[in-house]
Amino acid sequence: MKTILDFLNAKHEKKKITMISTYDYWSAMLCERAGIDCILVGDSLGMVIQGLDTTLPVTLDEVIYHAKAVRRGAPNTFIVVDMPFMSYQVNRDEAVKNAGRIMKETGANAVKIEGGEEIADIVEKLVSIGIPVMGHLGLTPQSVHALGGYRVQGKTEEEKKRIIKDAKILEQAGVFSIVLEAIPSKLAEEVTELLDIPTIGIGAGNKTDGQVLVLHDMIGIFDKSPKFVKRYMEAGVEIVNSLKKFKEEVEREEFPNSEFTYE
Ligand code: KIV
C-alpha cells in the first residue's frame, strides 16, 4: 500500500499520481486491480449515488458507510475520505472527533477537507495527532452557494492571489497534497511549481502532479459530463442495452435456457 511519502516522492520524481472518486466495493476492487494510486470516497456521492443537486446534505455516517465498502474492495490501496459539509467547520474538537471516526471505523489512510486559510488551524490539529489531510482549493463544492454556482475559479487577479496564498498556507499547515478543482491551467501550473507537496487536478489542465476523476463520469454513466471529463467508455449505453436484451429474452422465454438451468 502507498503512503503519503510515496506521493511526495512521486512529485519529486515527476511521476504522475492517479486518483479516482468512487464509493462501493466492486468499483474499488476494479480500481485496485487497475493499479490506481489512490481512491477518494468523495462527498460527490451525494450527486452520483443519491441524485442530489449538491454535496451539502451528505452526512458523516454516509461517507463512513461507503468508505467501509471501499476498503473491503481495495484492501491495498491508499484511501482518502471526504469530510462532509459541517463535519469539520464548527471547531477543532468537532473536526478531531469526526476525522477520528472516519479513521477508526473505515480503515482510511487520510481525510480531505475543503478550504484555505480559514481551515488552516484544523489541518494543523489533525496532522499533529497523526491524521494525514488532503486539501481542496479552487471550486470547492461545499461552498457552491457562496461561489454563486459551479463556476471556474481563479480567473480574476484577486481570486488567483487568494488561491496561491491558500495553497501556501495549507502546505505550511501540513497537508500532504492538494486537489485543485476547476481553475485555469496556468494557475494550476503556478501553484504546482510553488509547492513541495503534490497537486491533484480536476478541470485544472495537465500540469498538476496528478489527476482525479469521478469513476461514474469517466466510464460514461450519465448522459452529460462537464468539459474536463474524458469519457473512456459509454457504460451507461452498454448497461441499458444489456437490460433491454434481458427483458426481451425473458419475455420470449429464451432466458434461462438449459445452459443456465439446474437439472
Ligand atoms: O467529492 C469528490 O469526489 C471530489 C473530487 C471530485 C475531487 O472532491
To 10 degrees, the CA torsion angle through 231, 232, 236, 242? 160
Residue pair 179/200 in contact (Cβ under 8 Å)? The answer is yes
Map out the domains of the chain with their CATH numbers: 4-232 (3.20.20.60), 234-263 (no CATH)
Atom of ligand 1 nearest to the CA of 141: 8
Q: What is the spatial distance between Cα 69 and Cα 9, in angstroms, rounded to a whole number? A: 29
The string of pLDDT tens digits covering residues 234-262 is: 999 999 999 999 999 999 999 999 999 99
**What are 27's three cell numbers?**
468499483
**13 catalytic residue (yes or no):** no
In angstroms, what is the span from residue 152 Cα to ligand 1's centroid?
A: 15
In angstroms, what is the span from residue 201 Cα to ligand 1's centroid?
A: 10
The string of pLDDT tens digits covering residues 77-93 is: 999 999 999 999 999 99
- Tell whether pTM > 0.85: yes
Pocket residue to mutate for ligand 1, from 80, 140, 181, most atoms within 8 A of Cβ: 181
According to DSSP, residue 150 is labeled S
3-state secondary structure at position 112? strand
Task: For residue 193, give the amino acid letter.
Answer: E
In angstroms, what is the span from residue 137 Cα to ligand 1's centroid?
A: 11
CA-wise closest residue to 139 among 179, 182, 185 = 182
Label residue 45 by pLDDT band (50, 70, 90): very high
CA-wise closest residue to 80 among 149, 10, 131 = 131
Atom of ligand 1 nearest to the CA of 42: 1
Label residue 218 by pLDDT band (50, 70, 90): very high
In angstroms, what is the span from residue 39 Cα to ligand 1's centroid?
A: 10
Question: What residue owns the CA closest to ligand 1's atom 4?
Answer: 42
Q: What are phi and psi of 41, to 5 degrees?
A: -90, 85
Pocket residue to mutate for ligand 1, from 17, 19, 21, 52, most atoms within 8 A of Cβ: 21
Which residues approach ligand 1 with their CB closer than 6 A? 21, 40, 42-44, 82, 179, 181, 202, 212, 214
In angstroms, what is the span from residue 92 Cα to ligand 1's centroid?
A: 23
Residue pair 109/69 in contact (Cβ under 8 Å)? The answer is no
Q: Residue 177: which H helix or E strand, with range?
A: strand 177-181
Q: CA angle at residue 80 from 82 to 193, to 5 degrees?
A: 100
Average pLDDT of the residues in 137-152: 97
**What are 223's three cell numbers?**
448522459
Average pLDDT of the residues in 146-151: 96
Q: Residue 80: which H helix or E strand, with range?
A: strand 78-82
In angstroms, what is the span from residue 21 Cα to ligand 1's centroid?
A: 6
| Active-site position among 62, 114, 171, 181 | 181
Atom of ligand 1 nearest to the CA of 179: 7
Angle, in degrees to the nearest 10, between helices 25-34 and 60-73? 50
Question: What residue owns the CA closest to ligand 1's atom 8?
Answer: 42
Atom of ligand 1 nearest to the CA of 43: 1
Question: Can you spell out the DSSP letters for 195-232?
Answer: -SS-EEEESS-S-SSEEEEEHHHHTT-SS---TT---S
Q: What's the length of the chain?
A: 263
Average pLDDT of the residues in 35-41: 98
